[in-house]
Amino acid sequence: MRASFVKMHGAGNDFAVFDERDDPLGLSAPQIAVLADRHRGIGCDQLISIEPSGRADAFMRIRNPDGSEAGACGNATRCVAMLLAAESGREMLAIETIAGVLPAEILGPDRVRVDMGAPRFAWNEIPLARPLDTLHLPPLGGQTDGAALSMGNPHVTFFVPDAESVPLADVGPPIERDPLFPERVNVGFATMLAPDRMRLRVWERGAGATRACGSAACAAVANASRRGLGSREMRVVMDGGTLEIAWHADGHVLMAGPVLTAFTGEIDLASYPP
């Protein structure tokens, strides 16, 4: 069985996108792991399936390289919005995820803005394993004073003097899997460069270190604003590029940034047995 895909990225956060609206592929977790592998498969941070939706223009399913499913991915949402816009000719779209329906707007030939919804701050909405002050968590994995919230998936942000010096591969995994987070957690390390500018590096649950994470950028801006460290509108500088985040008065967080298609291709799924 052969399947076509589009390899895309948003600020370096890269995806293999499969259109499964007419022909479901039924990929298994082992197949997803191999397809996402940069040596044995296509190579991507997440594998994205576009599926039918009764509530929006399409449903977007997000699978991590370890086979787990993510609730939200802002960069992938922007990529899928660009594909759907090219297909329909419309600039305003709605994309359903397991975290809800996300409106998206095409701003230019390689730029998309998406409404990521409102962050949730209650301990049981993130979720945490027990009631805690989500703005000031106890020490985790050798890091202190993290702030947690949900952007459709759980996030913790640590504000550090120098995000560049953080060894993500060492400190990310134990925090991701700390018992405090029953659904695991995305781990961000942020350094404030100015009230409206932040440097952010991220260890994503199920994916590891990625060059950008849109929902983590939204979470970091909301957490920084809650802490009084910065404004509600920031440019977030990540390893793969810069995202513009705005936390509006109605509670919704909007994210704008670049979208690029790297290449299109076709893969023989028979080479990747379930």
Q: How many domains is the chain built from?
A: 2
Residue 30's CATH number: 3.10.310.10
Q: Which domain holds residue 189?
A: 147-251
Residue 103 lies in a domain: yes
Is 73 one of the annotated active-site residues of the chain? yes
Residue 139 lies in a domain: no
Q: Which two tokens stand for residue 51?
A: 């599926």
Which is the catalytic residue, given 44, 73, 79, 218? 73
Helical (H) or strand (E) element with 238: strand 233-238
Q: Which of 155, 214, 213 is nearest to 180 (CA)?
A: 155
Tell whether 18 and 51 lie within a shared domain. yes
Q: What is the pLDDT along the chain (274 residues), one digit of tens a residue?
A: 889 999 999 999 999 999 999 999 999 999 999 999 999 999 999 999 999 999 999 999 999 999 899 888 999 999 999 999 999 999 999 999 998 999 999 999 999 999 999 999 999 999 999 999 999 999 999 999 999 999 999 999 999 999 999 999 999 999 999 999 999 999 999 999 999 999 999 999 999 999 999 999 999 999 999 999 999 999 999 999 999 999 999 999 999 999 999 999 999 988 877 7
Rounded Cα–Cα distance for residues 86 and 82 (Å): 6
Which is the catalytic residue, given 44, 79, 213, 218? 213
Alpha helices in the chain (DSSP H): 29-36, 74-88, 168-176, 214-227
Write the CA distances from 17 to 5, 25, 100, integer angstroms: 5, 12, 19
Tell whether 107 and 60 lie within a shared domain. yes
Tell whether 29 and 50 lie within a shared domain. yes
Tell whether 265 and 229 lie within a shared domain. no
Tell whether 18 and 68 lie within a shared domain. yes
Residue 124 lies in a domain: no
Is 79 one of the annotated active-site residues of the chain? no
Tell whether 246 and 266 lie within a shared domain. no
